[in-house]
Structure 1
Amino acid sequence: MADYDYVIVGAGSAGCVLANRLSADGRHRVLLLEAGGSDRRFWVQVPIGYGKTYYQQAVNWRYTTQPVPGLNGQPSYWPRGKVLGGSSAINAMVYIRGNALDYDAWERAGNPGWGYKDVLPYFIRSETNALGAGPYHGDSGPLYVADVARDLHPICQDFIEAGRQAGLDRNPDFNGARQDGVGPYQLTVKDGLRMSTARAYLHPAMGRPNLHVLTHAHVTKVLCEAGRATGVQYERGGRRLRAMANKEVILCGGAVNSPQLLQLSGIGPSQVLYAAGIAIVCESPAVGMNLQDHIGVDYLFRSRKKTLNDELHPWWGKLAAGLRYVALRRGPLSLSVNQAGGFFKTTPDLAQPNMQLYFSPVSYTRAAPGTRPLMNPDPFPAFLLGVSNCRPASRGYVRVRSADPFESPEIQPNYLSCKEDMDELLLGVRFIRELARMPALAAIIEDELRPGRQCRTDDALMRDIRENAWSVFHPCSTCRMGPDPDTCVVDPRLRVHGIRNLRVADASVFPSLVSGNTNAAAIMVGEKAADLILSRGEEDEA
């Protein structure tokens, strides 16, 4: 048994940030525990490799939800990172912070210090942005954010022009002064390699004598005594071990693992704990509740113009792309397939965009079940146009099935349980059709392969959405931040209600979903949490 000042559970997007920041001045002994292994794997480092890691057990929790009534009883597959870097090591690398109004809503929900003006400095501090320093961007942070406009597949420009023809402005920076419009996505890549939080934050800090990182260490319980977290219990190499925390335990497991660990530790809704045979340490009704996630739909179009399918399907194309990558660290292997996209309003009276667009110059509809072969796409030129709703109203839950820490929890996202979510997606897919009719895309579309031109009525489109909608892999809010312990899990300083010296810092604390991809916001939470913990911000209340 070893003693540390801070014990961090989970080396994901926020956990790696905290490991770096809390150990930076050398005054504190920090332990970082990660259930997965090293991120020094070829398909983790190569950006296009996320198609390989999508189902790879060695780096992925590979969760499957309960059957979802709103998806015609189908379960949803949820890849979650189980590796240094967490989901930032296996995601599609799109860097979107969300809308400024999202964070102002967090503050209005009873979370002072979490408005946009408060969190923007943490976004800026975290990044070195290829666009350079300015009022919205930093140029000296650990996380490199790339502008890949010069490497976009040429067909992306047809999509962007179609968006302009449909009334959307071209937007070169969705993380700047405004979010709406269409344009290229910024990606967390550098020199042709993935820029996970492990690469950005953790590896530069691992030589510090006061930082100890343990992989393959599965935390099974937070140890509590007299209403105070004292350490954690974990299993590694077949041994049950303990690590004690003199100051704090900080959970950074994400929207699934953080509430699961709280519940396994006796912190959660009493009815869930009773059913699982877990003794109650602290009644906390909101643990695992309020689950939110983006849900999306893709339309597939056969193209008259060449797409990445033409480049990556034939063996000689794979060889050429591989040689280009090895020689220059450029080309399709150095990018995400979500190369362009945007944000728009389904009705003009909305204060902010409520839908996100995705454009992928590749398709893989003939993939075998259980694969996502980005290096072996369809044998014909095609592209995907997708939409997801930015702020869904549907709420789900995460709860343990038993006291066994190695049993996956029950996940029920309840997608489309609120009518307004379906209404928004219906407007969203109709906008896809509108984009496809714009001259820039109409000139290159040979046919709509999915769902097909015969799918036209509202009823038919809604049936297709229920049959084919998918998670965008942005789960959050299961340890929601807020002042009321009956409806929230952590307070605005990320301290768990009812338990001293225990915090949660990851996407599970989001009061509500941000409008867009969640990795950037999770990194921001890690940055702000470090300041809260080290009391650089306002002092903790007694």
Structure 2
Amino acid sequence: MNQAQMTPDVIVIGAGGSGAALAARLSEDPDRTVLVLESGPVPRQLSAFPAELLDARLVPGARPGSPAVRRYPAHLTPRRPYTVVRGRFLGGSTTVNGGYFVRARREDFDRWSAAGGAAWSYDGVLPFLRSLETDLDHGTDASHGAAGPMRVRRTDLRHPAAVAFRDAARHLGFPPEPDKNAEQEPGFGPVPCNVVDGLRLNTGIGYLLPALDRPNLTVRGGSTVRRIVIEHGRATGVVVQRAGHDGHRELVKCGEVVLCAGALRSPQLLHLSGVGPRGDLDRLGIPVVRDAPAVGVRFGDHPQVVLEWRPRAPLPEPVGSWLGGALHLPSSDGRHPGGDLEILQSLVPLSGLVGGTVTVPGAPLPFLVSVQSPCLGGRMRIRSADPDVPPSLDYNYLRTPEDRRRMREAVRTAAALLATPAFDRVSAGRVEPIPGTLDEDRSLDTWIDARLGTSHHTCATVPMGTAVDPYGRVHGIRGLRVADTSILPSAPLRGPAATAVLIGELIADAMRSAG
């Protein structure tokens, strides 16, 4: 293993939702050298991105054979094995997800600020939320920005299925929510997306491509970090393996390391570097640098099922995005007034999302129905000292009566929407569940169990308070931060893509302020 000649001030591990934002902002200081190490490919211009990663009518991460993702075996319940995916490409998961770019709710920031202080209050983060975006619908106002790297536009609701969804929600008495990024009452509305003119504009495109000509910024693709080097309680560099170099590894020294590898990879890298629960590290023969019981142990995510309906007649292809509208509502227990149930409309058949095609003649169309409560039921455990062996992931979905009740409530709401006269104009009926199954709790639970999926919203594996401080600094290790959704104490009530970018912005600002 050779030592690389370059000694950057900061190494950023991962060029995804958080890492791209953080690296770009840090490199705005010309006196700070920044090296970004991304395990996936790093195109240098927009035209070099594969077309399927740019077409916002597709979801690349849903395709089983996509080369742009890293796969993790998991169990959603003890009897439900699953494969979860994370982006492995410039832009990370913002390159392979659905383009959904919805902010967390004020309720989330109230909860997180209990661990992170005033910096994590809604009022504390609002300037960053405004500065990271160019909102093409609202421009600059008290809630939105018009000069940020992420271009945001809401989905077009003129598709006949989207019109039916809107009218069905109105028929059932759900309020309109025209701007889901403005703390309005949860209800039906278009989906804010990092999509413009049909292009999925990921964080690599928004933040890093415009910055690549800066002499103090280097972005390397095909560079997999194997571990962080920690000497005398300080992170001093990383061991990295370059693609196509026959397994050759090099040591890259630096002044500070920032882990932005995502909520699954970041805690694994901490474990491999000797930061984690002593018992787990001892079991695998990993020398313990810092006994950190909260690192890589628990996580939060959101269970999801698909409910499909048959179009009454052929419908037009979606224009611009696979998404139609979205309905958010609080579950009946009233614990989350910001809305902990989500019904998200796909205008592309599930078989099309999986197969990478927009049109599938005769196929039903899906609703993605999820419970977005901020619980921490997931359990993570490192299985090997080999970085190529993924950790054990047990999501423990639907483990309590309350979990099951919320999921049934969400499914029944989606079914009620389909039963309205408004939806009857375009729908020939739902595919499943059949009426007897829908009406009986135990039968519906069985139906849900057999079709259970996940929203891919993993958070809280290196949580603020117990594992890191409000600015991502790992307790007990100098020169080491985590800046991705790992640090959220719990999952937000909305998908976390916009929050991941916020994390990169907030921590970059803290680092720049510290000098």
Scaled by the length of structure 1, the TM-score of the pair is: 0.88
Matching residue within 476, 491, 495 for 2:473: 495
Q: Is 1:35 aligned to 2:39, yes or no?
A: yes
Question: For 1:443 and 1:58, how far apart are their aligned partners in 2?
Answer: 40
Of residues 229, 239, 262 in structure 2, which corresponds to 1:254? Answer: 262
C-alpha distance in 1, partners of 2:208/2:400? 40
Which residue of 424, 439, 442 maps to 1:442? 424
Please give the alpha-carbon distance, in whole angstroms, between the structure 2 residues aligned to 1:258 and 1:52.
20
Separation in 2 of the partners of 1:170 and 1:305?
A: 27
Q: Match of 1:513?
A: 491
Aligned to 2:228: 222
Change (3 A) 1:9 1:346: same
Change (3 A) 1:7 1:110: closer
Amino acid at match of 1:339: G
Aligned match of 1:373: 355
Question: Structure 1 unaligned runs (5+)?
Answer: 312-330, 483-487
State which drifts further: 520-529 or 112-121.
Answer: 112-121
Which residue of the partner structure matches residue 167 of structure 2? 161
1:227-251 Cα offsets, whole Å, 9 max, x none, are: 11111111112211111112x1000
1:299 paired residue among 281, 301, 307:
307
Q: Is the 8 A contact 2:350 2:366 kept in 1?
A: no
Q: Sort the Cα spacing of 1:82 and 1:344 in 2 relative to 1 into closer, same or farther, 3 A.
A: same
Q: Residue 530 and residue 52 in structure 1: after superposition, are their counterparts in 2 closer, same or farther (change >3 A)?
A: closer
Separation of aligned partners in 1, 2:70 and 2:115 = 32
- Contact 2:39-2:221 within 8 A present in 1 as well: yes
- Cα distance in 2 for residues equivalent to 1:362 and 1:167: 27
The structural deviation recorded for 1:522 is 0.3
Corresponding residue for 1:478? 461
What CA distance in whole angstroms lies between the structure 1 residues aligned with 2:307 and 2:26? 45
Residue 135 (1) aligns with residue 142 (2): yes
Kept after mapping to 2: 8 A contact 1:364/1:378: no
> Per the alignment, do residues 16 and 376 of structure 1 end up closer, same or farther by CA in structure 2, a change over 3 Å counting?
closer
Provide Cα deviations, 1:21-62, integer angstroms capped at 9, x if missing partner. Answer: 111121101000001112522211222342477334521102
- Does residue 467 of structure 1 match 2:414? no
The aligned counterpart of 1:325 is none
Q: Select the residue among 96, 103, 114 that pairs with 1:97.
A: 103
Q: Distance in 2 between matches of 1:119 and 1:289?
A: 27
Shift of 1:510: 0.7
Equivalent in the alignment of 1:319: none
**2:299, 2:490 within 8 Å by CA — same for their partners in 1?**
no
Q: Which 10-residue stretch deviates more, 257-266 or 375-384?
A: 375-384
Q: Distance in 2 between matches of 1:179 and 1:130?
A: 22
Q: Which amino acid aligns with 1:340?
A: G
1:452: Cα distance to partner? 2.5
How far the C-alpha of 1:472 sits from its partner, in A, is 0.7
Partner Cα distance (1:58, 1:349) in 2: 42
Letter of the 1:292 partner, please give it: G
Q: 58-67 or 517-526, which moves further after superposition?
A: 58-67
Contact 1:397 1:478 in 2 (8 A): no
Helix, strand or coil at the partner of 1:285 = coil
Aligned counterpart, 1:354: 340
Deviation at 1:392, TM superposition (A): 4.4
- DSSP 3-state at the match of 2:414: helix
1:9 corresponds to 2:16? no
Equivalent positions of 1:283-362 (< 5 A) are 283-308=291-316, 311=317, 332=319, 334-335=320-321, 337-347=322-332, 349-350=334-335, 351-362=337-348
| CA–CA separation in structure 1 for the residues paired with 2:61 and 2:21 | 26
Measure, in 1, the Cα distance between the counterparts of 2:350 and 2:223: 36
C-alpha change, 1:362 and 1:352, in structure 2 (3 Å) is same
Q: Is the 1:228–1:500 Cα contact (8 Å) retained in structure 2?
A: yes
Q: Do the aligned partners of 1:393 and 1:421 also contact (CA within 8 Å) in 2? A: no
| 2:94 is the alignment partner of 1:88 | yes
Contact map agreement 1:490 1:497 (CA 8 A) in 2: yes
CA distance in 2, matches of 1:424, 1:53: 25
Q: Is the 8 A contact 1:426 1:461 kept in 2?
A: yes
Deviation at 1:399, TM superposition (A): 2.6
Corresponding position of 2:280: 272
Moved more, 407-416 or 439-448: 439-448
For the 8 Å contact 2:311–2:426, the answer to whether it is kept is yes
1:195 corresponds, among 201, 223, 236, to: 201
Conservation of the 8 A alpha-carbon contact between 1:29 and 1:211: yes
Instruction: Confirm whether residue 382 of structure 1 aligns to residue 364 of structure 2.
Output: yes
State the shift of 1:476 in Å.
Answer: 0.9
Is the 2:349–2:358 Cα contact (8 Å) retained in structure 1?
A: no
TM-score (norm 2): 0.93
- Classify the secondary structure of the residue corresponding to 1:497: coil
- What is the rounded CA distance, in whole Å, between the counterparts of 1:118 and 1:342 in structure 2? 27
Is residue 96–residue 175 contact of structure 1 (8 Å, CA) maintained in 2?
yes
Which residue of the other structure, out of 231, 243, 254, is the alignment partner of 1:245? 254
Maintained 8 Å contact 1:231/1:242: yes
Give the Cα separation in 2 of the matches to 1:394 and 1:463. Answer: 23
CA deviations 1:475-515 (Å, max 9, x no partner) are 11101111xxxxx2111121001101100000111111111
Report SS of the residue matched to 2:495: coil
Q: CA deviation at 1:363?
A: 2.1
Spell out, residue by residue over 1:289-347, the C-alpha distance to the aligned partner (whole angstroms, 9 max, x if none).
22111111221111214335xx4xxxxxxxxxxxxxxxxxxx53x31x22211211222
The answer for unaligned runs of 5 or more in structure 2 is 44-48
Return the offset for 1:193. Answer: 1.6
Please tell me whether the aligned partners of residues 394 and 417 of structure 1 are also in contact (alpha carbons under 8 angstroms): no
Supply the AA of the counterpart residue of 1:240: R
Once residues 193 and 457 of structure 1 are traced to their aligned partners in structure 2, the CA distance between those partners, rounded to angstroms, is 43
Residue 386 of structure 2, aligned match among 392, 395, 404: 404
CA distance in structure 2 between the aligned counterparts of 1:305 and 1:114, rounded to whole angstroms: 49
Which stretch has the larger CA shift, 264-273 or 37-46? 37-46
Report the RMSD for the aligned CA atoms in angstroms: 1.9
1:529 corresponds to 2:514: no
CA distance in 2, matches of 1:179, 1:5: 45
Q: What amino acid maps onto 1:401 in structure 2?
A: R
2 CA distance for matches of 1:67 and 1:119?
32
CA distance in 1, matches of 2:285, 2:386: 10
**Match for 2:33: what amino acid?**
R
Match of 2:408 among 415, 418, 426: 426
Identity within the alignment, %: 34
> Partner amino acid for 1:223?
V
Change (3 A) 1:446 1:58: closer
Query: Is residue 15–residue 90 contact of structure 2 (8 Å, CA) maintained in 1?
Result: yes
1:413–1:349 CA distance, 2 compared to 1 (3 A): closer
Query: What secondary structure sits across from 2:70 in the alignment?
Result: coil
Quick check: 2:164–2:425 contact (8 Å CA) kept in 1? no
- Give the corresponding residue for 1:314: none
Shift of the 284–118 alpha-carbon distance from structure 1 to 2, 3 Å rule, reads same
Match of 1:161, as an amino acid? Answer: D
- The more displaced of 47-56 and 496-505 is 47-56
Q: Distance in 2 between matches of 1:280 and 1:177?
A: 44
Q: Shift of residue 394 of structure 1?
A: 4.5
Partner residue, 2:46: none
Which amino acid is 2:400 matched to? Answer: C
